[in-house]
Amino acid sequence: MSDKPGLIRRFFGFIGKLAHGIRVLINIIFVLVVVALVLSMFQEDVQPLPDSAALRIAPGGFLVEQKTYSDPLTQLMQQSSPADAETLVQDLVEAIDRAAVDPRITSLVLELDYLLGGGLTKLEYVGQALKRFRESGKPIIAVGDNYTQEQYYLASYADEIHLNPMGAVLITGYGSYHNYFKDALDKLRINVHVFRVGTYKDAIEPFTRNDMSAASREHNSAWLNALWAVFTHRVETQRNLPTDAINDYVNNLGAKLETHRGNAAELAVVSGLVDKLSTRPQMSERLRELAGVNDEGGYQGIDMKRYLSHTRRSQALETQPDTGKIGLIVAKGMILDGEQPAGTVGGDSLAKLLQQARRNDQLKALVLRIDSPGGSAFASEVIRQEVIATRKAGLPVIVSMGTVAASGGYWIAMGANEVWASPTTITGSIGVFGVVPTFEESLAALGVSSDGIGTTELADLYQLDRPMSDQAAQVIQSGVNHIYDHFLELVAEARGSTPEQVHQVAQGRVWTGVKAQELGLVDQLGDLQQATQAAAKLAGLDLYEVEEISKPLNFREQLLQELTNGQAGAWLAMLPRSWTPQGWLASVYDLGRKLEPLNHFNDPRGMYLECFECDIR
């Protein structure tokens, strides 16, 4: 008998060796790629900045204070992720301010087609940076196929605004519209038990009404009109338009378009909103004329990300004088209990950041940037107590309010030394609510019954398939009343007032930053930079640098983040883009953001400090 393997054994042996060889080859290739990427982190920028160029500002998606968490490996390997639909407002301001004093930057180009918004306060923050850039004597050119309301707000800061002849400027005004579910809930036989304190705490109205209440209409109208007045005044000032020109344009748009035979682009020029109608080739020619021609035949421009990467690296290599440090913690998104990823405020996770700041001996003061409509009452109190502990540890805390710092967002601000708000910040909403649905009638209609026995009258408190007892309702309402009273007391203590006086401006009512200062709810008006300067003054610092406090990364996350942000990330960015348009990506992201409230009910006691009406984007 021969020991030579048969044909089948030889065939499968060959397949096994081939598979093993492929695995080894893949592993070798992966190691070589990682080594190449790691080495690239320590290389100088192989493409130095040109001696003369325009800075290209092309924000995508929503302007945010903090990007929604995305795994670093996903960011590195994928062309598309939720982060593609977000732009850090601090990056925009930093790039614009750096460029204003950089002799290599001769001008600034605003490409706004993929900007979806982010709130008036963030637009104001970027707008003031654009204003400083213009004051340096360098021109700003805005180019776009169309301009939405928030895109146009930034474009109004430009020296020249170019619009595609097939485009339009669509300004609509601000509004706050919601769906109301009372009839639908009645048809589904769902009983929604609502508990609240505050005449104006209208977050629960969609469950109890089919329309907006008079109280809700009153207070929402006040702050919406206040923000709209800022928008129109700013645009009319930047464009040298007559007072009320924007209202005239919006309210009579139909008649004006009819006069121009529906030509929206022509109307935009006649109305003084844009300077010139230019096709894409004409826009490119104007930019080449302004900034020069690059090797590919386009205009000589530097992308914001590349510019920031280069200038930050150069700054890191320079010898810095001894300066104090101001810590910065961003509290962005809904406030939830427990550990939460970036882009959402977790009670435990933000508490750990505050503890981390206290352990950092180099920090001389802390700025807490709040951009949150609130959420869990319990998590809000966990955070506020940590803010107080930070102050007691000798580290001054300044709160800087972003687009919105209302309800729970306002609650956590009450632990700080000083509270700063932008004039257009939406704040207040001092009120509490609880919502408990029960489905006993819905199940009964399907033939499902609930029965049993308990040792007390509250044994079925958490049984949503049973009617809520009067005592259970009394227990929950008492809890809501208690938290509201506590809210009034902590605001009164922090603001040097009384609970009775705070109650007069509370009851769930929303205020702009300007009005909040008049009412004594905030100390000063100013943006993040001004609040940071106030923190430095409080700490006695003339020279300082800002250090953002964030969750420490493990080795894997650090490596992947460095690769993403470094030269390797730039190489990957040069790869062909996927077929998915960024606008579509951002739209999907926005839909997810609008559905977020469905995941927000995780307070241990079901008590919420949330301002649903504060989102007008």
Q: Give the integer Cα–Cα distance in Å for 115 and 112.
A: 5
- CA pseudo-torsion sign 174, 521, 606, 388: positive
> 171 — alpha (psi -120 to 50), left (phi > 0) or beta?
beta
8 Å CB contact between 144 and 111: yes
Residues with Cβ within 8 Å of 192's Cβ and at least 6 positions away in sequence, in order, are: 185, 207, 208, 435, 436, 437
Q: Give the integer Cα–Cα distance in Å for 413 and 566.
A: 36
Name the one residue in this structure whose structure tokens are 């030269």: 567
Lay out the sheet containing 160-163: strands in order across: 276-277, 160-163, 140-144, 105-111, 53-57, 301-303
Q: Give catalytic residues, as residue numbers.
A: 201, 407
Q: Give the integer Cα–Cα distance in Å for 429 and 197.
A: 11
8 Å CB contact between 160 and 130: no
Q: Give the integer Cα–Cα distance in Å for 279 and 163.
A: 8
> How many of the other CB atoms lie within 10 Å of CB of 200?
20
Q: Annotate 419-479 with three-state secondary structure.
A: EEECCCCEEECCCEEEEEEECHHHHHHCCCCCCCCCCCCCCCCCCCCCCCCHHHHHHHHHH
According to DSSP, residue 112 is labeled: -
Q: Give the integer Cα–Cα distance in Å for 362 and 438.
A: 53
- Backbone φ and ψ of 597, nearest 5°: -55, -20
CA dihedral 375, 381, 382, 387 (to 10 degrees): 110
8 Å CB contact between 54 and 106: yes
For residue 392, the SS3 value is: helix
For residue 117, how many C-alpha atoms fall within 13 Å in the half-sphere facing its CB? Answer: 14
CA dihedral 58, 85, 577, 161 (to 10 degrees): -20
Q: Give the integer Cα–Cα distance in Å for 359 and 614.
A: 35
Adjacent-strand bridge partners of 375:
335, 609
Task: Find the farthest-apart pair of alpha carbons in the chain and give their distance in angstroms, rounded.
Answer: 105
Q: Give the integer Cα–Cα distance in Å for 236 and 228.
A: 12
8 Å CB contact between 33 and 61: no
According to DSSP, residue 379 is labeled: H
- Spatial CA neighbour of 426 closest among 490, 484, 374, 495: 374
